[in-house]
Amino acid sequence: MRRAVTGTPALRRLADRFVAGETLDQAVASTTGLVDRGLHVTIDHLGEDTLDAADAAATRDAYLALLGQLTDLGLSGQVEVSVKLSALGQKLATDAEQVTLANAVAICEAARVAGTTVTVDMEDHTTVDATLGTVRDLRGEYPWVGAVLQSCLRRTEADCADLSTAGSRVRLVKGAYAEPASVAHPAKRDVDLAYVRCMRTLMASKAYPMIATHDLRMVEIAESLGTELGREPGSYEFQMLYGIRAAEQRDLAARDHLVRVYLPYGEDWYGYFMRRLAERPANLAFFARSLFSR
Ligand code: FAD
């Protein structure tokens, strides 16, 4: 499937809607365009589920180069980075925890020098304990490291209460991974209701909520909660993915909200692209037509 998808020109073009390019230069060019339009950005160097320590080191080095570029271009005020721990070594057969932490520390140190922040993406439910553990370790030295919580998981409301501490940067998402009913709400309505409850917990606390969704009902509720709880625009932010709801991103920014676009780049775009397709039936139908009409 991976070979068929990455080798099909129509699908590569479809991927361009969600991925800013394969090279650092392409990512920086797209980032600059967004920043010029008043948006903030978090850049993800694509890659996940690395089983080789050399690949994990290469991912770390890609982030170090990226952070160096952001500094040189004067973009680090508006642009941070997002990292997946499975790309930094979380699934290695030996010394996974130590290798991951060392790679993540190197990235955080470069972000500190650049004057920006790092958010640690959340992957499937089997990784949540390890990922939150690494975030906790990183926050000892780098308190601005962001965590991600997925409202689809039954455990998340408790995690959300734990993470709702002063200054804690928390990105709230619905969750992009197919999860079993033993750990996740099977009904979308329950995922949405949990999202609202988590938003309230975060917004009512002294944490820094990062409301990451394209669901305009959630955006509206976040704005109402912000007003009800006396939060100033800028004391929380909205986040959306590159290529999705661009007009709404600009509308929100025009209403004085801080809006951050999650911008992925790199050669390993297959997993990210497939998750974006799976989220929306219309994308899947287009995908099937492109694959079988080649
Ligand atoms: P939904 O109810 O799924 O969608 C609402 C509406 O948004 C849809 O009706 C549709 O109009 C539009 N929409 C949603 N998805 C698409 C799409 N792919 N293509 C076109 N239109 C779409 N998930 C994780 O598990 N871990 C993470 O670390 C993570 N980080 C994220 C960072 C950001 C900034 C964002 C915005 C999302 C992130 N996600 C992450 C993905 C998230 O979990 C959801 O899978 C994704 O955002 C879709 O959910 P939704 O909140 O937009 O709501």
User: Can you list the positions of beta strands (E) in 181-280?
Assistant: 208-212, 237-241, 258-265
195 within a domain of the structure (yes/no): yes
279 within a domain of the structure (yes/no): no
291 within a domain of the structure (yes/no): no
Cα 217 → chain centroid: 20
User: Is 176 flagged in the annotation as binding?
Assistant: yes
Here the CATH number for the domain that contains residue 170 is 3.20.20.220
User: Is 90 flagged in the annotation as binding?
Assistant: no
CA distance 242 to 268: 16
Q: Calculate how far, in angstroms, residue 241's C-alpha sits from the geometric centre of ligand 1.
A: 7
Q: Residue 273's closest CA among 6, 4, 3, 30?
A: 6
173 within a domain of the structure (yes/no): yes
176 within a domain of the structure (yes/no): yes
Q: Is 121 designated active site?
A: yes
Q: Which of 121, 159, 192, 268 is catalytic?
A: 121
Tens of pLDDT, residue by residue over 250-261, are 999 999 999 999
Residue list, ligand 1 pocket, CB within 6 Å: 121-122, 148, 150, 173-177, 212-215, 239-241, 244, 262, 276, 279-280, 283
Residue 247 domain boundaries: 20-268
User: Is 122 flagged in the annotation as binding?
Assistant: yes
Helix (H) or strand (E) holding 171: strand 169-173
Ligand 1 atom with minimal separation from the 152 CA: 43
pTM of the model: 0.96
12 within a domain of the structure (yes/no): no
70 within a domain of the structure (yes/no): yes
β 118-120/237-241 pair status: unpaired
**Confidence class for position 280, pLDDT limits 50, 70, 90:** confident
What domain count does the chain have?
1
Q: Quick one: 276 exposed, middle or buried, by C-beta within 10 A (0-12, 13-18, 19+)?
A: buried
Q: Among 3-7, 52-56, 275-279, which is the least confidently predicted range?
A: 3-7
